[in-house]
């Protein structure tokens, strides 16, 4: 467990070593020097977003990133505000947290993590078939997390503010010293998108799975203002 009194100013290596991790690579890869790669092949090719720039566009539209950490064999999932930094085809995600807490304890034990974010939720109602589905865009992936050193926190927090179009907001810098900033180096990710079953191949494949998707013109109604999880 994370012990009180750990000096965060020592940077990532000092923090995690004192917390019980001998080396970054002990339980996984450190993540430095790794470039982005696409995750395993997706079953629904008609919904896959394979283009790197399209995935980045989806990430820019999201306002919450959920990360999953290893909690003694069970995933510990927490939703977080985040910032995005892209250098070439290497993606970095930034998060902030209190100086102590369960997230930091778990990361100290195992700095590998998975993430998920989604947006563009629209409920689609097929009135004649009495069926419905959900539009969405999402990105999932994995990477390794490290603590941002004290001298790099300010720029990292500006990256986080940029995600919410407030990069120039003059936030109170006195809070930096009592804020932990985390950096995920993304080592793999994939995107997925579902629209209104506009393409014939999607309609046919969905119908084959038992979901009615074909409809006469005018039979589809979108329920505006519905903010639902992407379950389909």
Find the Cα–Cα–Cα–Cα dihedral 45, 46, 49, 50, rounded to 10°. Answer: 40
At residue 196 the predicted structure's pLDDT band, cuts being 50, 70 and 90, is: low
DSSP at 22: S
101 vs 221 pLDDT, higher one: 101
> What percent of the chain shows pLDDT beyond 70?
66
**pLDDT per residue over 20-66, tens digit each?**
443 333 333 333 444 555 556 677 777 899 999 999 999 999 999 99
Query: Residue 74 has what pLDDT?
Result: 95
Of 5-14, 188-197, 222-231, where does mean pLDDT reach its minimum? Answer: 5-14
CATH topology of domain 8-121+135-196: Pnp Oxidase; Chain A (2.30.110)
At residue 139 the predicted structure's pLDDT band, cuts being 50, 70 and 90, is: very high
Q: How far apart are CA 179 and CA 174, in angstroms?
A: 10
For residue 130, the SS3 value is coil
Residue 130: CB partners within 8 Å, gap ≥ 6? Answer: none
Of 3-7, 54-58, 135-139, 212-216, where does mean pLDDT reach its minimum? Answer: 3-7
At residue 195 the predicted structure's pLDDT band, cuts being 50, 70 and 90, is: confident
Mean pLDDT over 177-204 rounds to: 80
Residue 1, pLDDT > 60, answer: no
Q: What is the mean pLDDT of the chain?
A: 78
Q: How far apart are CA 156 and CA 153, in angstroms?
A: 5
Query: Residue 45 has what pLDDT?
Result: 77
Strands (E), the chain: 48-49, 65-71, 74-80, 83-87, 90-97, 112-126, 131-147, 180-194, 220-223
> What percent of the chain shows pLDDT beyond 90?
58
Q: Which whole-number Å values give the CA distances from 25 to 3, 34, 60, in the listed order?
A: 21, 13, 30
**pLDDT per residue over 164-178, tens digit each?**
999 899 999 999 999
């Amino acid at each position: 467990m994370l012990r009180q009194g750990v000096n965060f100013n020592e940077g990532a290596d000092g923090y995690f070593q004192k917390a019980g991790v001998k080396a970054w690579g002990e339980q996984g890869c450190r993540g430095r020097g790794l470039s982005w790669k696409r995750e395993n092949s997706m079953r629904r090719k008609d919904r896959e977003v394979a283009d790197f720039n399209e995935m980045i566009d989806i990430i820019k539209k999201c306002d919450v990133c959920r990360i999953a950490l290893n909690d003694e064999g069970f995933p510990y999932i927490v939703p977080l505000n985040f910032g995005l930094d892209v250098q070439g085809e290497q993606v970095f995600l930034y998060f902030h947290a209190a100086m102590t807490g369960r997230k930091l304890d778990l990361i100290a034990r195992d700095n590998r993590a998975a993430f998920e974010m989604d947006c563009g939720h629209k409920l689609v109602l097929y009135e004649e078939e009495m069926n419905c589905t959900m539009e969405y865009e999402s990105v999932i992936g994995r990477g390794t997390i490290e603590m941002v050193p004290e001298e790099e926190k300010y720029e990292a927090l500006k990256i986080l503010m940029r995600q919410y179009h407030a990069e120039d907001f003059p936030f109170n810098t006195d809070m930096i010293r009592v804020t932990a900033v985390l950096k995920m180096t993304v080592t793999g990710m994939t995107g997925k998108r579902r629209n209104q079953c506009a393409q014939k191949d999607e309609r046919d494949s969905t119908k084959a799975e038992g979901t009615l998707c074909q409809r006469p013109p005018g039979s589809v109604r979108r329920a505006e203002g519905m903010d639902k999880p992407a379950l389909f």
